[in-house]
Amino acid sequence: MRVLVVVAALALASASVVKDDTYSSTVIGRESMVNVDVKTKELSILKLLNHILQPTMYDDIREIAREWAIEENKDKYLKTDIVNQFINTFKMGMLPRGEVFVHSNNLHIDQAVKVFRILYFAKDFDVFIRTCCWLRERINGGMFVYALTAAVFHRNDCRGIILPAPYEIYPYFFVDSNIIQKALMMKMTRAATDPVIMDYYGIKVTDKNLIVIDWRKGVRRTLTENDRIGYFTEDVDLNTYMYYLHMSYPFWMTDDIYNLNKERRGEILSCANTQLLARYRLERLTHEMCDIKTIMWHEPLRTGYWPKIILHNGEHMPVRSNNMVVLTDMNVKLKRQLDDVERMIRDGIMTGKIERRDGTVISLRKPEDVENLARLLLGGMQLVNDDAKTIHIMHLMRKMLTYNTYNTDKYTYVPTALDMYTTCLRDPVFWQLIKRVTNTVQTFKNMLPKYTRDELDFPGVKIDKISTDKLVTFMDEYDMDITNAVYLDETEIKKKRSDLTFVARTRRLNHHPFKVAIDVTSDKSVDAVVRIFIGPKYDCMGLLVSVNDKRLDMVEIDSFSYKLDTGKNSIVRNSQEMHGIIEQRPWTRRILDNTEEISGTTFKNVDIESWWYKTRIGFPHRLLLPLGRKGGLPMQMFAIVTPIKTGAILPNIDVSIMKERKMCRFSVCFDTMPLGFPFDRRIDTSEFFTKNMKFYDIAIYRIDMDTANISKDIDMSDMVMKQDDLTYLHQDKLVRWSYKDVMMSSADNIMRM
């Protein structure tokens, strides 16, 4: 019975249709919540995040917000000075509720950090949740979500709590503006139906009060060839992955008290960025698009971007036109600061050290010093006090491209796509910025010695064979819950639910599950680490690529420890079980249920503990493979089996902390080899190829959505795209054609002239 109550409560938290008294058994504030179970904690968080743009609809939260006084309960927090800092800032005035919270704005982030700290230093969960209620009713909604998410990620008593996906909390950053506009239109008309308009806009209303809005219907704005892979860069799960990477290792979290400095935080972020760039290149290769160039500040920026995003305050994210002049009189000082920081880091790489202002030295000599370099580039390293906030290179480069030179109000800041961790991957220029940072890391890696045969080899171990299932990708449909983008009216607030559920239906990249089989022969029983990569075989011109030219394009799809037995070993890995991979995210309201969605989508039962692990920094399973081609995209798979290296534990690194926080990204929890090994350094081909590694030719095929569940290919050579189709790669729109139809169409066109 208790499980049913919790499930129903989760449904309401996600704005589904449930009875009014759902929350009667779970009320915040009636008794201490210090020792409550994780699902009760989770329910409280879900209530706080529901319809974040409006004051809360829940009586218990409002009551606590009125009764709790932070200033009178300073003794309930571990650090009194942190509480005083927040109180002083709050009294001076903070970001207004109606403004958009921006991740790269120094003023916004300074205030958000103070909010996070009072949440982080609450003595127990009861104080934490009461502080959340107080903040929920008083501070900016975006800032509250940011600080609360960071606190849930890093508080010990919040482990196991499953947060709603960021695109369910604040859909504005994830769907096109025309979708939001259509949802508002349906809300205003109470879902009144006009068949002509509904068909043109792609809107369907079901008898379950469900409004389905087809994302494909609308004006397709195209500025550059990069829009051809918008299905990848604008994928909601990929952008969630980027946002959660930041939340796992915020650039401003420099103090040792958070224990992040005992993790390989810098190296993880650096490797994740490098792998994202490699994955992006594979997607470009599918469309025969060549590599991107790093950004050059003195040249016009040829790549424009149209975000198609509207913010909750009515402002649109600015459009950047093609051939924009980057360096102007307005940002020349910022450019000089950026040059100074990059020069300091390059000099540090060449000399092997950077001296802080207090006289201490940051070492950049040894392989493990990549941690220091990555934290200098991506945040987390102090030069003095809070300088990590001002020298964060990615933020400096983003500011070079901002449109917020003049503002009439100190809080007014209209973000570009680059300014938000939830939208930055959408902008093609961001990938150029990642490449600039990656090139700096590679400058350091090039100063290190190449891997020797002894470092690469595993004596007595040989890979005999690699095989895979047929690798098949397709574009499938997905329904995204955007109900929180629509404001509740007074009646709905009293009922504590929305009368209508709004869903955006879109297409996204997916693939059939596949298995990788590796046959290994070993002359001894030994623990080993297996790493599996995929990468290009030919470049965009069809030329064979050397191992050195493609090493930075190799995407690590799996890494795991394995106990080798003496003799033959058959290692089989299912793509759905690969390390650090997250499966399809169910709607928040269905996480604990295995029944059918009201939209008709069925999700399997979810292992909650496993789901919590993967929701932190898990890479979407369906994006493991690039789109491929109908005739097959030739690529290569690479596998290497190496001994587990644990003898030389990295300085100041505590693997147990990463295991407790379930942040075992890549191989950090069972191996101390550099992330990206063996492709992270230049390769000596005369020493590289050993028996414990093997390349294997593969091909990635693309089929159409309507045949996605059929193994055989269908001949579509005599089919054409319907004229009313406005979306790229929607092959289910293909129709048979005849010579007569073509001639009649041509005659009609002539008559119109």
Contact 635, 240 (CB under 8 A): no
Q: Does residue 190 have a pLDDT over 50? A: yes
Q: Does residue 749 have a pLDDT over 90? A: no
Whole-number Å distance between alpha carbons of 60 and 339: 53
- Using DSSP, state whether 420 is helix, strand or coil: coil
Which residues of the chain does CATH 1.10.1280.10 include?
A: 225-446
83-138 pLDDT, tens digit per residue, is 999 999 999 999 999 899 999 898 999 999 999 999 999 999 999 999 999 999 99
Give the pLDDT score at 719: 42
Give the pLDDT score at 391: 66
Q: Virtual CA dihedral for 86, 91, 96, 102, nearest 10 degrees?
A: -30
Whole-number Å distance between alpha carbons of 56 and 47: 8
CB neighbours (10 Å) of residue 80? 11
Reported as a pLDDT band with limits 50, 70 and 90, residue 218 is low
Least confident of 205-219, 479-493, 688-702: 205-219
The Cβ-side half-sphere exposure at 99, using a 13 Å CA radius, reads: 20
Whole-number Å distance between alpha carbons of 708 and 702: 9
Contact 98, 143 (CB under 8 A): no
Burial of 658 (0-12, 13-18, 19+ CB in 10 A): buried
Residue type, 6: V
Is the backbone of residue 560 left (phi > 0), alpha (psi -120 to 50) or beta?
beta
Is the backbone of residue 180 left (phi > 0), alpha (psi -120 to 50) or beta?
alpha
Residue 438, C-beta contacts closer than 8 angstroms, at least 6 positions apart: 270, 273, 274, 277, 552
Contact 583, 10 (CB under 8 A): no
Residue 479, C-beta contacts closer than 8 angstroms, at least 6 positions apart: 212, 503, 504, 505, 597, 599, 601
Classified by CATH at the fold level, domain 453-470+512-580+618-702 comes out as Immunoglobulin-like (2.60.40)
Give the pLDDT score at 634: 97
Whole-number Å distance between alpha carbons of 358 and 377: 20
Reported as a pLDDT band with limits 50, 70 and 90, residue 572 is very high
Q: Which of 490-499, 657-666, 688-697 has the highest mean pLDDT?
A: 688-697
pTM of the predicted protein model: 0.89
Q: Does residue 54 have a pLDDT over 70? A: yes
Whole-number Å distance between alpha carbons of 752 and 749: 5
715-724 pLDDT, tens digit per residue, is 444 444 444 4
What are 2's two structure tokens? 């208790």
Cα 240 to the chain's mean position, in Å?
3
Contact 135, 129 (CB under 8 A): no
With vertex at residue 661, the alpha carbon angle to CA 658 and CA 664, rounded to the nearest 5 degrees, is 45
What are 301's two structure tokens? 């920026």
Q: Which of 281-285, 311-315, 505-509 has the highest mean pLDDT?
A: 281-285
Least confident of 82-86, 309-313, 440-444, 715-719: 715-719
What are 727's two structure tokens? 């979306």
In terms of C-beta distances under 8 Å and separation of at least 24 residues, what long-range contacts does 17-24 make, across chains too?
Answer: 17/208, 17/209, 17/497, 17/499, 17/501, 17/598, 18/497, 20/495, 20/496, 20/497, 22/496, 23/47, 23/58, 23/60, 23/496
Superfamily of domain 2-161, CATH level 4: Hemocyanin, N-terminal domain (1.20.1370.10)
Whole-number Å distance between alpha carbons of 580 and 616: 10
Give the pLDDT score at 9: 40
Whole-number Å distance between alpha carbons of 536 and 628: 12
Reported as a pLDDT band with limits 50, 70 and 90, residue 330 is confident
Give the pLDDT score at 539: 94
Residue-wise DSSP of 701-729: EE--GGGTT-SS----TTEEE-TT--STT
Reported as a pLDDT band with limits 50, 70 and 90, residue 247 is very high
CATH of domain 225-446: 1.10.1280.10
Which residues of the chain does CATH 2.60.40.1520 include?
A: 453-470+512-580+618-702
Give the pLDDT score at 722: 43
Q: Virtual CA dihedral for 684, 686, 690, 695, nearest 10 degrees?
A: 70
Burial of 301 (0-12, 13-18, 19+ CB in 10 A): buried
- What's the longest Cα–Cα distance across the chain? 84
Which residues of the chain does CATH 1.20.1370.10 include?
A: 2-161
Peptide bond before 318: cis, by omega within 30 degrees of 0? no
* Pick from 243, 246, 101: nearest CA to 165: 243
Q: Does residue 15 have a pLDDT over 70? A: no
